Copies of this chain bind each other. A is one copy, B any other.
Amino acid sequence: MPHPPAQQPISANTDTLVMQVMGHIRDRIANRSLVAGARIPSIRQSAEKMGVSKSTVVDAYDRLVAEGTILSRRGSGFFVAGQTPPLSIAQIAPSLDRAIDPFWVSRQSLSTDDTVLKPGCGWLPPDWLPNEALRRALRQIARGPDKTMTDYATPLGSLALREYLARRMGEHGITPPTGQIMLTESGTQAIDLLCRLLIEPGDTVFVDDPCYFNFHALLHAHRANIIAIPYLADGPDMDAFARAAEENRPRLYVTNSGLHNPTGASLSPVKAHRVLKVCEKHGITIIEDDIFADFETTPAPRLAAFDGLENVVHIGSFSKTLSASVRCGYVATRADWIDKLLDLKIATSFGGGNLSSAIILSVLRDGSYRKHMEHVRQRLARAMTDCATQLGVLGIKPLAPPGAGIFLWTRLPHNMDAAALAHAGLKHNIILAPGNVFSLSKTAGDLMRFNVAQSLDPRLMAFLKMEIDAAAKGS
């Protein structure tokens, strides 16, 4: 039954208790232990549970009614009002400094226009990509059959592209039949579908520390218990990995074998073997994200090649080497999982189109693609050297000798705080990727990832010099 609002003035102490009761109910609504329409514990129950007087609870409930959080129904008690506030990633994930929140870097990198410098973003500038081959592909498709332009793809996606992918994986010793390759909209969608298939909320998943920051975001969205294993110059710290595997029984390990993001390191054969052994022992499935494959100059071993796609799932996409605009990723895995991934893909995105895969295939088959990648690798090598030199002059040092790929993983001088530097960069229209965005343990506070293809603008170096000079004076 409804209670009249308390008439008497409330003492400071009572007021605090009332606030506590209100806060408790609001929290339970926010974390959805009480959902819209749910009955709220009776006044007696709440009073007993919280060790306060019934009149305190009466006051708290009345104020919650007044603010519209709960409803009172005559004779039947109190209920959660209207809309339950939706769960957000911010609620799932621990509260983060927005500068080291993975979404901050993603959104900033995706949002900005051509006037903004993006040394913190994870992809090549448009003019590094095979635009002429893409133009040819569009014109070719415009002359082709209707169905490429208007029809759904088959559930697995273009057979011709899957045949190409099978051959390309074969060069790395991975030999799936085409029926075990499924196209997706992106590499991220491939991992997302695998998470839907393989993990439950609360399951433990291993990532590298540091790792690609969107792995954190994706795994938070699946409410995984994320554990990050230190990543060294040749792969994970295997003592830590084996110990954590024994203790935490993870379901998945998500990693890059070649050109690890953000460190640029590559897995050594001996580490590959040890990772596989530990994962086999504990039934840990490995998702090997091979998105940087085509940037390699010396191929790293692929976990999927050793394992024959039993415990290892191999995924990739073309967003780094060919086009981020033409959305196309893929996953190669066991036949029984492909079948279930197909159902999940149809349920959650209905299906793919023919257009993206037709464009990708056309560019891959275009005689110019290998030459394009050769050129990109040379251009990246030069940019890597130039970038390392210019940063070195400022006192920003790579943690390991610069290798292949697009990333340089560096330490700032004077114990500078990379997140603060990223904040400062924003005011100068510069998007940076501070180390702790990649580090679950937040042990990369003075590290910074530079995309060497996006880091050669003099404005960046001028900004860094200014900030470092200021830090040198301060320290």
Binding site for B on A (CB under 8 A): 32, 35-38, 80-84, 86-90, 103, 106-107, 110-111, 114, 123, 126-127, 129, 131, 134-136, 138-139, 141-143, 145-155, 185-189, 192, 196-198, 200-201, 203, 214, 217-218, 220-221, 249, 251, 280, 282-283, 285, 311, 319, 323-327, 337, 340, 342-344, 346-356, 359
Contacts and interface: CB of A to CB of B under 8 A. Distances in A.
Given A107-B155, A151-B324, A154-B111, A251 B36 contact: yes
B86 A283 contact: no
Contact of A343 (B35, B88, B139): B88
Nearest to A111: B154
6 contacts: A82-B283, A110-B154, A110-B351, A149-B326, A185-B327, A214-B350
5 closest pairs, A vs B, by CB? A36-B283, A325-B353, A217-B347, A126-B146, A138-B142
A194 to B, nearest CB: 9
A85 to B, nearest CB: 9
A340 B355 CA distance: 29
Contact of A141 (B114, B136, B138): B138
Contacts of A141: 138
Number of copies: 2
B340 A352 contact: no
Contacts of A129: 146, 149-150
Contacts of A280: 82
A154 B303 CA distance: 34
Nearest to A197: B86
A353 B111 contact: no
Contacts of A319: 152, 350
Given A87-B197, A327-B353, A218 B150 contact: no
Nearest to A359: B355
A390 B473 CA distance: 88
A350 B186 CA distance: 8
Nearest to A284: B36
A106 B326 contact: no
A145 B327 CA distance: 18
B155 A111 contact: yes
Given A110-B153, A325-B147, A348-B221, A203 B35 contact: yes
Given A134-B149, A251-B35, A352-B327, A283 B186 contact: no
A327 B359 CA distance: 14
A101 to B, nearest CB: 9
B346 A150 contact: no
A214 B346 contact: yes
A349 B142 CA distance: 28
B81 A283 contact: yes
Given A197-B87, A344-B221, A186 B349 contact: yes
A126 B106 contact: no
A313 to B, nearest CB: 11
B87 A189 contact: no
A429 B355 CA distance: 26
B123 A149 contact: no
A353 B326 contact: yes
Contact of A353 (B32, B283, B323): B323
Contacts of A138: 138-139, 141-142, 149
A285 B35 CA distance: 13
Given A134-B149, A188-B350, 13 more contacts: A36-B283, A81-B283, A84-B283, A89-B344, A103-B343, A107-B155, A110-B155, A114-B147, A126-B146, A135-B142, A138-B138, A189-B348, A327-B327
Contact of A89 (B188, B323, B340): B340
B340 A353 contact: no
Given A83-B285, A88-B343, A131-B149, A350 B106 contact: yes
A354 B325 contact: yes
Given A126-B147, A155-B110, A186-B349, A343 B37 contact: no
Contacts of A153: 110, 325
Contacts of A123: 152
Given A217-B343, A349-B185, A325 B86 contact: no
A283 B83 contact: yes
Contacts of A282: 36-37
A187 B349 CA distance: 8
Contacts of A146: 126-127, 129, 131
Contacts of A220: 347
